[in-house]
Structure 1
Amino acid sequence: MSDRDRKPQFKRGSQKANRNRGRPPPRNREAGTDSPAILYGWHTVAAALANPRRTIRKLLLTENAARRLADENINTSITPEIVRPSAIDQRLGPDAVHQGLLAEADPLPSPDIDTLAQEGIVLVLDQITDPHNVGAIMRSAAAFAVKAIITTARHSPEATGVLAKSASGALELVPLVLVQNLARALTELNDRGFMTVGLDSAGGEDLAAIQLRQPLALVLGAEGKGLRQLTRETCNAVARLDMPGDIKSLNVSNAAVLALYIGASRLGLMR
């Protein structure tokens, strides 16, 4: 019998946990609490199951979802509970597009700034609180091979639920660095040789016209408020995104994509 013919065995109602024993508890990058991360949707849960650093506590699957995981040879590493879609609806609400999968998982560890590779691009988020926007930014960051996303432990959304679904699996791919003080974190990046560039509609130069270098940190501010004053002052440069149309501002997740494309192109990372 081939590996492809070998199907995972699912048992109804089991809540067996898969925990890594003998290691210290991780620093919670999913909100600074000990609460489990709630992950739902096909790409989000499949990516979590494929991530060896992610410990799944509980897995709820519909029969169709369980069959699809088996057909695609995705190892659950935990015996799931087979439930009706309505059981997941009750957990998440009727508007959540869960596709028959819901996982409770231990939070992923948050790396320290001094462990980041001094190459490529990192993103820094200055109090961006909308989980849809942060999730979309994480998805774009994964597409552009961003080394990490840095954000504050407070005034940022939990890396769970809506954010994880919007990230479409990117939560497992892009390290999320939680810091207490963003200006201090930017100072540390400056000291480690990063070029820190804040993005603001009132920036003095077009990002495409600035001489960029690696390692590069692109700093994005919240919609409406933009970058805070201390954040602006701590960046090496503040740049704008020039566009030819009548509307001169973009949704922050769209601005992130454009800035990443410009940065990756200028740094020769698009090969």
Structure 2
Amino acid sequence: MMGFSVSDELLGTVAPIVVYWLYSGIYVALSSLERYRLHSKAEEEEKNLVSKSAVVKGVLLQQVVQAAVAILLFTVTGSDAEADIAQQFSLLVLTRQFIIAMIILDTWQYFMHRYMHHNKFLYKHIHSQHHRLVVPYAYGALYNHPVEGLLLDTVGGALSFLISGMSPRTSIFFFSFATIKTVDDHCGLCLPGNLFHMVFKNNSAYHDVHHQLYGSKYNFSQPFFSVWDRILGTYMPYSLEKREGGGFEARPTKEFKDD
């Protein structure tokens, strides 16, 4: 009986999409836990300017484009089987590739994201679509205008793949990890014991500040580190306070309240 195998290239294309919806589904199941939410369920329904069905359609469109670019990228770059096998057994090489890819993706997304806020035309016609989610939720993480999805996420991902020199097999794990982190940043929950919140300062509360009117010119960093915000003066410090009626709220510190 012949075995069935799936290529690394196919897994590298499909895995991040599957991971996106599976991980989002976990947060959908947990969204009823009001005591851990950054906004109430009522606020989510009242403040958001786009229907959930439109969000799902927008995300699926972006994922189709991402899949097409991934297939093209894997086809153009090819795969060296011997080199791929060697990489699997070199923890140092894998660690270096992950770190480089994270830095490249963070840098690209910070400056593109910031520019889309400061350029009035780009914000009005492109980036404002993402900010229709005033109260972010997990499966809205990749809800963007198609042009933004291509420039910010797809091109950024392609650059991190190419510059880091990772193999298709390594890309399965890196982009699945990046996908989980992006979903987590938009989940709208602060759950106890969340490892992402312990390891990364750039988390759901950090990004929630950016989605509010007072923070729209701050906290641009995504998806991993807050370094560029801190270096370039766009970091908005905040405290996580208990919200009246249950849950939490990310509140800017006093100096920003007084601006």
Bin the TM-score by the shorter chain: under 0.3
TM-score (norm 1): 0.26
TM-score (norm 2): 0.27
Higher RCO (Cα < 8 Å, 6 or more apart): 2
Q: Which structure has the greater CA radius of gyration?
A: 1
Which of the pair is proportionally richer in helix?
2
